[in-house]
Amino acid sequence: MQPLRGVTVVSLEQAIAAPYASRQLADLGARVIKVERPGTGDFARAYDTRVRGLSSHFVWVNRNKESLTLDFKDPRGLELLRRLIADADVFLQNLAPGAAARAGLGAGELRAAHPGLIVCDISGYGAPGPYADRKAYDLLVQSESGLLSVTGTPREVAKAGIPVSDIAAGMYAYSSVLAALLERGRTGRGAHLDVSMLEATVEWLGFPLYYSFDGAGPPPRAGAAHATICPYGPFTAGDGTIVMTAVQNEREWRGFCAGFLRRPELAGHPHYATNADRDAHREELDGLIAARFAELTGAEAIALLDAVPVANARVNTLAEVWDHPQLAARGRLHEVPTPAGPVPALAPPGPTGGAPRMEAVPALGEHTRAVLGGLGLSEEEIDVLAADGVV
């Protein structure tokens, strides 16, 4: 399913947030022209070399794109970029605060020239405001948003294991662009979208924010366990298998006591009768449950939990995820070409039927000549620009 075929996105992007947004659009069929610095490109290309010499971050968020190297600080490069934008449906950027506007690529200027253009700016904090000019990276925004304050253990905070603020901003940019394309289809008018990593992350913190509303205390940092529902967390079986166990309501609690703990009388114990009671006596209850898990292998524990039934999951390693039986059964892993050869890639969640779009992760500047040729430049003209370092 490629409903965005015919949509062109020009993206001045780097790192994760904007590339993640544009990859979602590319997965749905949009033509994404990724504008990169000549010589070095998107700095995420150099984050690591874990994928056959390529960066894990870059391979993840840059399939299905064309790479154009262009120095838009050179007047000739800026003019070429303006010509590309004039023919585009969407202009997406996550440069340093104010950089696009200083280059003459601000939303007001672009939309005045192209009323149907959708301009999407992604930044750490948005503008205006006292933080508008602050640089922002994922971990900084995780900190500023309060996410770190509720993640970790009672003794210390911990960041999320993925760049959650980048991902949140990328997904809101993606969904906002889709909405803007629908609106333009009705009205013919483009839009200016201003996506803030801070606001995207704070939106995802809705439960802790409301939990601590009006001066109330925040949810406690509970490691891998749920902060306020009990029992809901990891327990280690006798063979070392870690099983995540989740009891969500009183019916499940009664079944858990009878079918798994083999102690039905605990269901009505005054320390455990309600979730609030269990949460208040979490340490002693966790000790009882841990002792039962220690009597069982991981497979035995999961079989008993399934029989109740109580929701559960293995705490898989990343190596195990590559071979996850559910992903295999649904045919979710495909191959995407890269400059280092084909690598596995997860199909976009949602669409079913037909093969997903799995075109290459581009080499730096791989499509420069083709893109500029599409603007009418001759090979000789491109040669001059290349010799001057403009492309």
Task: Please give the sequence-ordered ranges of beta strands (E in DSSP) within 42-84, or none if there are none.
Answer: 65-69
> Which of 160, 307, 317 shows the shortest CA–CA distance to 242?
317
What's the angle, vertex CA 166, arms to CA 160 and CA 334, rounded to 5? 90
Within a 13 Å sphere around the CA of 110, how many CA atoms are in the beta-carbon half?
A: 34
Where on the phi/psi map is residue 126: left (φ > 0), alpha (ψ -120 to 50), or beta? Answer: left
d(CA 60, CA 20): 8
**Nearest-CA neighbor of 37 among 95, 106, 123, 84?**
95
Nearest to 365 by CA among 20, 82, 16, 41: 41
Of residues 39, 44, 83, the one with CA closest to residue 65: 44
Q: What is the DSSP annotation of 214-260?
A: GGPPPPPP-TTS-SSSSSEEEEE-TTS-EEEEE--SHHHHHHIIIII
State how far the Cα of 327 lies from the Cα of 262, in Å rounded to an integer: 34
Q: Residue 343: which H helix or E strand, with range? A: strand 343-346
Distances (CA, A) of 288 to 4, 260, 295, 299: 54, 12, 12, 19
Catalytic residue among 42, 138, 166, 279: 166
Q: What are phi and psi of 9, to 5 degrees?
A: -120, 125
Structure tokens at 117: 């253009």
Total Cβ atoms within 10 A of residue 372 = 22
Give 51: exposed, middle or buried? Use CB within 10 Å, 0-12, 13-18, 19+.
middle
List, as one string, the DSSP characters of 258-290: IIISS-GGGGG-TTTSSHHHHHHTHHHHHHHHH
DSSP assignment letter at 52? T
Active site annotation includes 27: no
The span from the CA of 125 to the CA of 142, in Å, is 12
Q: Which residues carry out catalysis?
A: 166
